[in-house]
């Protein structure tokens, strides 16, 4: 057992980039810097959104349909055949009735077979066009979701700093569904219009005045529809926006349930949700009011055409100018003429809601990422790990500078501890090094390369960070550790867990490494989550490792074992430790004191304690606030006797 773990630890510390051991198993070919190299189960979206914001939203959606134009064209042809079969039925019925009345012994079987044949044709082609059309609709929804998620993955931290997650979730779900529903029903509406044209043409061929009488109310339907559309668009935008507000409130209360309960703030939060729900209810009721006022008018105006046909057609029949079969056929055609207008109100509602949703979707898709690869950016491959901050100035948004002309040099392979009061920019240094943000002035360099001249994928493959509040996914412990290397072997996952002193408590879980950790990993203690996060980072074997107070929730004795294991694994790895506890600071080769956005002291822990009052003051302040000892017994000595003989 020990020899196997030691061998796997050695493979983590050197002798190959992440994924080498498991690559043959998955046949994955990837470059040395690619953080995740697996064979995708699904390909990219077939279509993308148009990029010209000056055109209408339907024009921007056109490339999605164009990517499936073959299947879409076949669906439309099948639908056209089905509609022609439907339109032909009244003519066959008219001929059968007239022949039967004129010749009492006429054979009706040819007409019966004709109607059966038309029914069979319509049934078969209706199935074909509906199947393919609905499939296209859901494929469009798939492409929209994939385009949205791709864009969200490309956007910078500054975007997520200012946009609520509930708003993003709403746009990625309900707004996309609104667009998808319209794109599904709009072609059906077009087909109804085609049937209207054919039916009206056949009516004109039989009797022009009677056809005109049947059509008299329809222009008024159009005018009512235009008025309804003008009223519905702004209301639909408000409804979608307030739906997102409700989703945001729910999402924040679910993810922050522990904070809400700890402050007994359930009642105020319910009041907040009730307020948002009332605002949504007002907008939704207003939308229903508009629909209730105009939709019945749009649906019932065409019924006047039926009354006119029966009145005028009855007079013509009495005068012998038209046959009874003609009246029956016209009555059926009037029903066909009404179908598009019965759907018009529903389509108006869908179109305005889809237009509002598309606008909200485009706000995301048109967002320009603040952090992107520069033209000509190069890959950071096999770096030594030297880090330089040269005259760096940075502030978040319009706020005051967090860093002010900061100078810092970390030699390759060196372990440096950053110490300072909260808000002095320690974590900001890590975010600039990984290029989560770009500096306002100066430069951040790795091995002499400005990080802005490096590809993001290669930079973040070589520079990894473990946060004080790690995020775990709702997956197994194994999947969480192997997140950065899905092709890692079980032995490599175990070795990383052993190095992070996590193997002991993991094996004590109900299903060991296959245990699901729950949302955000809250079924585990804070210290356990931190150890899994450390193991996850160790598994990808970065050249530069940043520990942002990564052991704050871990027992000091466990932390000591973790650092002993890290010492074996670090080797020539450059490590930056953002520390608050003496047990962590003492492990660094050099300690830097950060104050006022600058490095104000540099030396060993002992030297700074003896010569720098500000350093001693910061440590005294930390000691007064508590040294971060865990209260959860699960963060203590679980696994203490599991790894000692291995990493000592």
Predicted confidence (pLDDT) per residue in 604-634, tens digit: 888 888 888 888 888 777 655 554 444 444 4
Name the band, by pLDDT with cuts 50, 70 and 90, for residue 433.
very high
Q: What is the CA radius of gyration of the chain?
A: 35
For residues 533-556, b (16+ Cβ closer than 10 Å) or e, as one string? Answer: bbbbbbbbbbbbbbbbbbbbbbbb
- CA-to-CA separations, 610 to 5, 395, 439, 464, in angstroms, rounded: 42, 33, 34, 33
CA–CA dist 24, 92 (Å, integer): 69
- How would residue 388 be classed by pLDDT, with cut points 50, 70 and 90? very high
- 87 vs 68: CA distance, rounded Å: 28
Query: How many of the other CB atoms lie within 10 Å of CB of 232?
Result: 25
Whether 456 contacts 373, CB under 8 Å: yes
269 contacts: CB under 8 Å, gap ≥ 6: 249, 253, 260
Ranges 40-54, 62-76, 192-206, most confident: 62-76
- Across residues 477-481, what is the average pLDDT? 90
Q: What is the 3-state secondary structure (H, E, C) of 170-206?
A: HHHHHHHHHHHHHHHHHHHHHHHHHHHHHHHHHHHHH
CB hemisphere CA count around 74 (13 angstroms): 10
pTM of the model: 0.67
Say whether pLDDT at 138 is over 90.
Answer: no
pLDDT score of 327 more than 50: yes
**How far is the C-alpha of 444 from the C-alpha of 441, rounded, in Å?**
10
C-alpha to C-alpha distance for 519 and 529, rounded to whole angstroms: 12
Helix or strand run (H / E) with residue 444: strand 441-446
Question: Alpha helix (H) ranges present in 463-499?
Answer: 477-481, 490-499
State the pLDDT at residue 647.
Answer: 26
Is pLDDT of 205 > 90?
no
* Positive or negative torsion for Cα 300, 302, 303, 308: positive
pLDDT digits 0-9 by tens, 553-589 = 566 666 666 666 666 666 678 888 887 777 677 678 8
The more confident residue out of 386 and 191 is 386
The strand order across the sheet containing 387-395 reads 401-410, 387-395, 441-446, 449-450
Q: Distance (Å, rounded) from C-alpha 336 to C-alpha 329?
A: 11
Supply the mean pLDDT for the chain: 78
- Is the pLDDT at 462 greater than 90? The verdict is no
Domain boundaries, the chain: 57-365
Annotate 32-43 with b (16+ C-beta within 10 A) or e (fewer). Answer: bbbbbbeeeeee
Q: Could you count the other beta carbons within 10 Å of the beta carbon of residue 459?
A: 24
Report the distance separating Cα 141 and Cα 84, nearest Å: 30
Q: Identify the weakest region by mean pLDDT among 29-33, 44-48, 286-290, 512-516.
A: 29-33
pLDDT-based confidence at 312, cuts 50/70/90? confident
Asked if pLDDT for residue 32 goes beyond 60, the answer is: no
pLDDT for 339-383, tens place per residue?
Answer: 676 666 667 777 877 888 888 888 888 888 888 888 888 988 888
CA distances from 576 to 416, 465, 496, 559 (A): 5, 9, 19, 16
Read off the pLDDT band of 261 (50, 70, 90).
low
Residue 639 has pLDDT above 70, yes or no: no
Predicted confidence at residue 387, as pLDDT, reads 93
Distance of alpha carbon 392 from alpha carbon 614, whole angstroms: 22
Residue of 335 and 178 predicted with greater confidence: 178
User: Which pair of structure tokens corresponds to residue 242?
Assistant: 């307030």
The predicted pLDDT at position 450 comes to 93
Architecture of domain 57-365: Up-down Bundle (1.20)
Q: Could you tell me which of 299, 74, 79 has the C-alpha nearest to residue 188?
A: 79
- Name the band, by pLDDT with cuts 50, 70 and 90, for residue 336: confident
Over residues 458-462, the mean pLDDT reads: 87
**Which residues does residue 516 pair with via DSSP β-bridges, in sequence order?**
476
**Coil, strand or helix: which one is 423?**
coil
Residue 399 CB contacts under 8 Å (≥ 6 apart), including other chains: none
Could you tell me if 127 and 134 are in contact, meaning their C-beta atoms sit under 8 angstroms apart? no
The residue behind tokens 């929804």 is 141
3-class secondary-structure state, position 592: strand
- Model pLDDT, residue 637: 37
Distances (CA, A) of 536 to 388, 486, 493, 503, 512: 26, 11, 8, 13, 16
Cβ neighbours of residue 583 under 8 Å, at least 6 residues apart?
Answer: 556, 559, 560
Residue 124 pLDDT:
93
Write out the two tokens for 451: 């990080």
């Amino acid at each position: 057992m020990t020899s196997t773990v030691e061998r796997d630890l050695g493979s983590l510390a050197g002798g190959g980039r992440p994924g080498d051991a498991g690559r043959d198993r998955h046949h994955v070919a990837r470059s040395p810097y690619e953080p995740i190299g697996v064979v995708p189960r699904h390909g990219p979206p077939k279509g993308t959104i148009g990029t010209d914001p000056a055109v209408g939203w339907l024009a921007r959606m056109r490339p999605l349909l164009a990517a499936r134009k073959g299947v879409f064209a076949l669906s439309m042809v099948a639908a056209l055949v089905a509609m022609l079969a439907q339109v032909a039925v009244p003519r066959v019925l008219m001929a059968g009735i007239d022949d039967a009345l004129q010749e009492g012994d006429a054979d009706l079987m040819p007409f019966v077979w004709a109607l059966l044949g038309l029914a069979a044709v319509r049934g078969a082609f209706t199935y074909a066009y509906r199947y393919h059309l609905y499939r296209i609709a859901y494929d469009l929804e798939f492409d929209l979701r994939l385009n949205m998620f791709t864009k969200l993955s490309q956007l910078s931290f500054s975007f997520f700093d200012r946009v609520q997650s509930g708003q993003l979730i709403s746009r990625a779900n309900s707004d996309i569904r609104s667009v998808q529903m319209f794109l599904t029903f709009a072609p059906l509406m077009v087909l109804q219009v085609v049937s209207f044209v054919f039916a009206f043409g056949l009516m004109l061929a039989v009797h022009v005045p009677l056809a005109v009488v049947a059509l008299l109310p329809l222009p008024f339907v159009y005018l009512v529809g235009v008025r309804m559309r003008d009223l519905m668009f702004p209301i639909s935008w408000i409804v979608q926006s307030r739906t997102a507000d409700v989703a945001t409130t729910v999402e924040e209360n679910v993810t922050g349930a522990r904070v809400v309960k700890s402050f007994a703030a359930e009642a105020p939060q319910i009041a907040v949700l009730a307020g948002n729900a009332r605002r949504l209810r007002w907008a939704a009721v207003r939308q229903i009011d508009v629909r209730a006022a105009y939709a019945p008018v749009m649906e019932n105006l065409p019924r006047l055409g039926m009354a006119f046909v029966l009145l005028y057609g009855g007079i013509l029949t009495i005068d012998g100018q038209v046959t009874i079969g003609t009246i029956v056929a016209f009555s059926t055609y009037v029903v066909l003429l009404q179908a598009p207008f019965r759907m018009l109100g529903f389509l108006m509602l869908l179109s305005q809601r889809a237009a509002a949703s598309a606008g909200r979707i485009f706000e995301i898709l048109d967002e320009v990422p603040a952090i992107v690869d520069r033209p000509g950016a190069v890959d950071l491959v096999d770096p030594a790990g030297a880090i330089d901050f040269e005259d760096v100035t940075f502030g978040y948004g319009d706020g005051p500078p967090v860093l002010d002309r900061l100078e810092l040099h970390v030699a390759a392979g060196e372990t440096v501890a950053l110490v300072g009061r909260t808000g002095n920019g320690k974590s900001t240094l890590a975010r600039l090094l990984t290029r989560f943000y770009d500096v306002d002035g100066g430069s951040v360099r790795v091995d002499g390369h400005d990080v802005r001249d490096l590809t993001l994928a290669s930079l973040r493959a070589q520079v990894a960070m473990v946060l004080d509040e790690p995020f775990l996914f709702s997956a197994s412990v194994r999947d969480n550790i192997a997140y950065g290397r899905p092709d890692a072997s079980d032995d490599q996952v175990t070795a990383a867990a052993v190095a992070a002193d996590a193997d002991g408590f993991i094996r004590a879980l109900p299903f060991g490494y296959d245990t699901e950790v729950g949302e955000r990993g809250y079924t585990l203690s804070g210290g356990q989550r931190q150890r899994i996060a450390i193991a996850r980072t160790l598994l990808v074997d970065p050249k530069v490792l940043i520990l942002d107070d990564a052991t704050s929730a871990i027992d000091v004795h466990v932390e000591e074992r973790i650092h002993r294991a890290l010492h074996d694994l670090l080797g020539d790895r450059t490590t930056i430790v953002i520390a608050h506890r003496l047990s962590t600071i003492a492990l660094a080769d050099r300690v830097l004191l950060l104050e006022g956005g600058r490095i104000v002291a540099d030396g060993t822990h002992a030297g700074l304690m003896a010569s720098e009052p500000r350093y001693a003051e910061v440590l005294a302040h930390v000691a007064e606030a508590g040294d971060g000892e865990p209260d959860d017994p699960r963060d203590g000595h679980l696994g203490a006797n599991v790894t000692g003989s291995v990493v000592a």
